[in-house]
Every structure is written in structure tokens, then in C-alpha cells.
């Protein structure tokens, strides 16, 4: 099992959600986050006073997956989140030791 953590542009979120649903992903956790990468921040100007905003708003999508779904899910995220411009985000893949479904106590792939 893997945990996929994707940081994407907020306006791509709906597309990412739909693309993941199409490959059979049944749940996800979404968080509004801020950060910077190669896109860096942006500047704002108030009466000529320039402020550099270091942290840009992004959306973090976390999905737990059985191994057979991982490749397809990653492809789906890349395809749906990509705009081709700097700042499209990142995908992190980590292994997942165990998953429990709280209601039934099921574990492993059954619980995803």
C-alpha cells in the first residue's frame, strides 16, 4: 500500500478529484496549504509599497491506495493537474504500513 500526497494548484482540484474517481479511487483527504517551490512567491503592491509574498496557496490531496492502483492514480493526477507552467506542484509517494477502517476494524487493502 502507498500513500500519495499531491500538492496541486487549487483551481485544478476538481479535475484531479474526477480523474482519480475515474481510475477507481474511492476517497481522499484535501487540505488547503501554503508553500513555495520553484515558482517562488509573488509580489503585491499597495500605494507603491511592494510586498513579496513567499507562500502561495496550494491544495494538498492525500490518497491511500492499494499497490495495483498506484501507477494509474499518479498518471491521473499528473494529467489532470498539469498546466505546463511553473508551480504545478509535486507528488510524493510513501509506503503505508497499515490501514484500519474504524467502523468495522478491517485492515489492509480491505480498509482502503
Partner 1 sequence: MKTIRNLPCLVLGAACLWPVAGFSQTIDSGDTAWLLTSTALVLFMTLPGLALFYSGLVRSRNVLSVLMQCFAICCVVSLIWVFFGYSLAFGGGSIAGLIGGFDKLWLSGVEVDSVNGTIPETVFVMFQLTFAVITPALIVGGFAERMRFGAMLSFSVLWLVIVYLPVAHWVWGSGGWLAEIGFRDFAGGAVVHINAGVAALVAALVIGNRTGFPTTAMPPHNLTITVAGASMLWVGWFGFNAGSAIAADGSAGMAMLVTHTGAAAGSIAWMTMEWLRFGKPSVLGIVTGMVAGLGTITPASGFVGPMGAVFIGLFAGVICFLATQLIKRKLKIDDSLDVFPVHGVGGFSGILLTAVFSSTALDGRGLDEGVSMGSQLVVQLIGATATLVWCGVATFAILKLIDLVSPLRASPEQENQGLDLALHEERGYII
| Residues within the interface to partner 1 (CB under 8 A) | 44-49, 51-53
CB nearer partner 1, residue 46 or residue 95: 46
Q: Please, what is the minimum distance in Å from the beta carbon of residue 75 to partner 1? A: 38
CB nearer partner 1, residue 44 or residue 67: 44
**Is residue 73 classed as helix, strand or coil in its secondary structure?**
helix
CB nearer partner 1, residue 41 or residue 72: 41
Q: Please, what is the minimum distance in Å from the beta carbon of residue 48 to partner 1? A: 5
- Can you tell me the distance from the alpha carbon of 21 to that of 69, in angstroms, rounded to the nearest whole number? 12
Contact criterion met (CB below 8 Å) for 3 and 64: yes
- Can you tell me the distance from the alpha carbon of 19 to that of 91, in angstroms, rounded to the nearest whole number? 15
CB nearer partner 1, residue 24 or residue 57: 57
Q: Please, what is the minimum distance in Å from the beta carbon of residue 89 to partner 1? A: 25
- Can you tell me the distance from the alpha carbon of 107 to that of 111, in angstroms, rounded to the nearest whole number? 5
Residue from 90, 95, 101 nearest 70 by CA: 95
Q: Please, what is the minimum distance in Å from the beta carbon of residue 64 to partner 1? A: 31
Amino acid at each position: 500500500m502507498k500513500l500519495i500526497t499531491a500538492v496541486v494548484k487549487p483551481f485544478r482540484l476538481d479535475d484531479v478529484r474526477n480523474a482519480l474517481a475515474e481510475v477507481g479511487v474511492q476517497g481522499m483527504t484535501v487540505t488547503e496549504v501554503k508553500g513555495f517551490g520553484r515558482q517562488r512567491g509573488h509580489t503585491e503592491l499597495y500605494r507603491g509599497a511592494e510586498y513579496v509574498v513567499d507562500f502561495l496557496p496550494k491544495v494538498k490531496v492525500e490518497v491511500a491506495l492499494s499497490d495495483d492502483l498506484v501507477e494509474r492514480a499518479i498518471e491521473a493526477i499528473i494529467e489532470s493537474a498539469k498546466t505546463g507552467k511553473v508551480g504545478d506542484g509535486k507528488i510524493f509517494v510513501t509506503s503505508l504500513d497499515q490501514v484500519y477502517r474504524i467502523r468495522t476494524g478491517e485492515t489492509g487493502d480491505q480498509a482502503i
